[in-house]
Amino acid sequence: MASCYFNPIPTSSHLISADLSTKFKIPKLLHRKKRFGALSRSSKITAYYGLKTPPYEHDALEPYMSKKTIDIHWGEHHRNFIEGLNKQLGKDDILYGYTLDELVKVTYNNGNPSAEFNNAAEVWNHDFFWESMQPGGGDMPILGLLQQIEKDFGSFTNFKEKFTEAALTLFGSGWVWLVLKREEKQLAIVKTSNAICPIVWGDIPIINLDLWEHAYYLDYKNDRAEYVNVFLNHLVSWNAATERLTWGEAFVNLGEPKIPVA
């Protein structure tokens, strides 16, 4: 069962200070009033963010992604990001009470990431990655999502080629994403280095692919091209992508086609 994020509200009776606003350049919408409480500031809170489990058994993506890869990737790398983030938050209660989305945006600090950003963003990215895949995935999207891809990329084949090119030309480690651009009102492919997540720019992610070497080395060695090919043809969850694009339409008027098409 997937664990829920637990964001405890601190019991100290203070607002986010002007010093913190300067440190993180926190947008006004993210200023959060803290609850008043009777406990002292020294009270110890031991739970912050929980480790979410993938929405399938660890062997469910075989033979395209092995149980061993997921055991290590999720059970060690993803867990380490959660534990690292919680240790950082345990040193100060200033960032308590934020959703993970808010925490990523605040700690990105307008392009000057704080120490907490890498862990927070990698937790967000990994949660999204596991849910971007499904057993029996791949193939082609259907109905409205396919029409939107064809509208914005010319064809589904063009989309796959551009996604693959982005993945293979990303220098070093990072991620490749299909996102919905709010201002442009269309889908686009973006690549990000290290922990960067497109929500810091206001993009709405639809799918992502982890391009850190630990994501594929056990199964594909250094053959990133084969890993990307397998992801697109056998792993990617177009069901999840359709749901995310449907949600995105609440914020971006795409015109026609509507997602999903009945």
- 235-247, pLDDT tens digit by residue? 999 999 999 999 9
Residue 97 pLDDT: 83
* Tokens at 35, concatenated: 């609850």
- To the question of pTM greater than 0.85 for the whole model, the response is no
Mean pLDDT of all residues belonging to the chain: 84
pLDDT (tens digit, 9 = 90+) per residue, 69-118? 999 999 999 999 999 999 999 887 788 789 999 999 999 999 999 999 99
Sheet containing strand 186-193, edge to edge, reads: 186-193, 174-181, 204-210
Regions of the chain with pLDDT less than 50 = 1-22, 24, 26-46, 261-262
* Residue 36 DSSP symbol: P
Residue 46 pLDDT: 46
Q: Tell me the percentage of the chain whose pLDDT exceeds 70.
A: 79
Rg over alpha carbons for the chain, rounded to the nearest Å, is 20
Q: Beta-carbon neighbour count of residue 112 at 10 Å?
A: 11
Residue 255 pLDDT: 82
Residue 257 pLDDT: 58
Q: Alpha-carbon distance 115 to 110, whole Å?
A: 14
Residue 126 pLDDT: 98
| 186 residue type, one letter | Q
State the Cα torsion 190-194-196-198 to the nearest 10°: 20
Q: Which residues contact 227 (CB under 8 A, 6 or more apart)?
A: 215, 216, 219, 220
